[in-house]
Amino acid sequence: MSTPGSEPNKVFPLGGVVKQRRHELSMNQAELAERAGISQSFLSQIERGQIELPRGRDERRKLAEALRMGHLELLMAAGIVDHGDLPSAAGPYVIASPTQVKLDQLPPESRRAVEKFIDEIWRANAANAANASKAAKPPARSTRDRARRRLTLRRASAPI
């Protein structure tokens, strides 16, 4: 009998990756299963290669996080996703954030207004950072101030 996401008599590579990474992190199956929010028996099936990968994206993401890996990093390590299959920033496809998707759906004039607002915030933050670094520096001393300080230090260190 095969379980969902598995094929009879086939061993899936994700299991070896998960098991190796679990050992690197010095975790037992119970600890990893708890951190990933899956049952220990389900994790055992994954590690034995009986299941290609958890069906739910959230389960895969939680498993990757529990292994201290990125979701795509886990899938690439298991050979499920090839690096060449991923969209590149130079190619016609780019992975967009939900905010970017919403921004792209706005009419052009609204999009320009949002972009202008973001630019203003960015410039204000850059100016604040520059002012903060200036404020952190001690004020420059004049030649007269430096001479007075040296004289005061000499008098203080002179024998009585």
Residue-wise pLDDT for 22-77, tens only, equals 999 899 999 999 999 999 999 999 999 888 777 777 888 889 889 988 877 887 87
Query: What is the distance between the alpha carbons of residues 138 and 104, in angstroms, rounded to a whole number?
Result: 47
CA dist list (Å): 68 to 18, 37, 97: 11, 14, 22
| Amino acid in the structure at residue 34 | E
Query: What is the distance between the alpha carbons of residues 120 and 17, in angstroms, rounded to a whole number?
Result: 46
Per CATH, the number for 14-83 is 1.10.260.40
Query: What is the distance between the alpha carbons of residues 43 and 63, in angstroms, rounded to a whole number?
Result: 9
Q: With bands split at pLDDT 50, 70 and 90, how would you rate the model's confidence at 3?
A: very low
pLDDT tens digits along 99-147: 777 777 788 888 889 888 888 888 888 877 777 666 666 666 677 777 7
Total-model pTM: 0.47
Query: What is the distance between the alpha carbons of residues 59 and 43, in angstroms, rounded to a whole number?
Result: 11
Name the DSSP class of 142.
Answer: P
CA end-to-end span of the chain: 99
> Domain ranges in the chain?
14-83, 96-137
